[in-house]
Structure 1
Amino acid sequence: MSHSRADRAVLRRRCRPIAPALLSCLALSAAAACTTVPLEEAHTLVSYDGLMSNDGKITKARLRVDPNDLAAAKTIYVESTTVSPNAGASIRKPSESALVANVISRALCVGVSDRFQVVDRRENADVVVHATVTRIVPTNAAMAGVSTATSLGASFVIPVPVPRLPVGLGGLAVEAEATTRDGKQAGAMVWAKGANAITTSARVSQVGDAYSLASSFGSDFSKMLVTGKTPYKGLPKFPSAQKIRSSLGGRPKYPACERFGRSPGVKDFAASQIGLPPSWTDKRPAVVGQWSP
């Protein structure tokens, strides 16, 4: 049955008194709904000794960095992120887990560009970075679709953003390290984060949440290498001009980062708001890392 504009206005007025209560309820349930993803090692790092916990409640991490080893470095090479067999087995389509890995590589490449010159050959680099996806907690695609429909329907009545349903949330775990020319570990991180119902948009894909979280890891690890200290202390800083340009789909600072493709930018943000899978807006990577234990 269709409704006139006047009917819809009446409906909104009638629902206004319950809107604050409904929003409070949704916010409380969403705050409690966050996927817990354990830290997981894939034995791809030179060493796990000396890793310190960040004691985070949302983002879990164990990390170490040697600012002295990084101080003299000028060039850096970013390897293609690999997917461990355990992580790959949780996703039906290998192309989707490869998409998550590529987002990590892209975010790492753009992030380290703030401090280092990114080169396209590892033999020309003072530091080499490699990362491995150790776990992907699949997003329940069906529930993500229901959540998107519910949110869009609720926004018709309440003209404010509504959290997604706190069911079927996904997550991501990654480990990475940076090594010098002589193979010494200059920085390492074992990282895990789960999606939450407030800040992570529901996308109809098994890797919907992992895709959204991938750039968060890339940002954390690259920030550690750029600053030579933990990325989890201090006040957040405004992103550099080159980061903003890259996030909007612009040309990266260094041509070597083009091998990971450009961010789909605003197009992907718009798609995420209506639940479209990330594969609809982000191209399949031309370079995929090969797993080697």
Structure 2
Amino acid sequence: MAKLNVKVGDLNLRNPVMPASGCFAIEYSEALDFNKLGALVIKSVSPKSRAGNPTPRVAETASGMLNSIGIPSKGLDYYRREVLPPYTRYDTPVVVSISADTVDEFARAVAEMSLPEVAVIEANISCPNLEADGMAFAMDPDTTYKAVSAIRRNTGHIFWAKLTPNASNVAVVAKAAEEAGADGIVMGNTLLGMSIDVRTRKPKLGNVMGGLSGPAIKPVALRMVHQCYRSVHIPIVGCGGICTAEDAVEFMLAGASAVQVGTASFIDPGVMQKIIDGLHAYCDETGVADINELIGAVKLDRQLTDRWLRFAQQSG
């Protein structure tokens, strides 16, 4: 059987498969053995209590879904007391996702959540920055650098910067996160979208616009992972429309060291175990002894790729 162990920077994982934040809950233990996952990524927490966005919060689309949850939170104290402990009982690294409205809030929240039982902090800088008129931190390399620098100064923990696919040039943003001290990047989050009910002529989401996820965004997410891989030297966790083992393999070939599974778990709570089993089968069928052989191993025409990347940078 092939070796599925991977390293994401200094973090050792038994396999490259983990949930995406917000798409996973402790109740999934009824469908999955948490001790067989690569990591456990918990839903995002913000330092401020908030109720989330108005309903309806979810709308189905072709090959995906739109959501506008708004990251409801009861604050850090409640999170440490009630949310975190059940996950730390497993022999699997715990990743805490943090969302905040300002650079200072991010810094304080990360410092408070740098706990011994937390293996990694995922800084969700794809969320709105109130100091920049609601534009996500990761939309711009300068705001990315400021946020990541503040986080780095306030924690010695491993931390990943979660980027947004809505940026015009994700490779430049990823480079800014690396230079500011991120240990890895998660590429990425949902694409901004909208849906309208043609009978009522009203938006299907209470917040009008929301994030598109699922298989519909996979080609875009895959392209962005590859762009980031060619731009940075820190590890990348790929995310976006992963439903099968072959999807996971594609992301690793594009440059991801590990993957996160989101929308697919809503359809099948046991899908991550199926992906892990599928990775074993793929490696056996193709003669891959160590899954790390796949990372960034896509076969490219170097001249054409360099020309395309120059074009992407100029147009971005």
State the TM-score bracket (shorter-chain normalisation): under 0.3
Larger radius of gyration: 1
Report 1 or 2 for greater relative contact order, CA contacts < 8 Å, sequence distance ≥ 6.
1
The TM-score with structure 1 as length reference comes to 0.27
- Calculate the TM-score normalised by the size of structure 2: 0.25
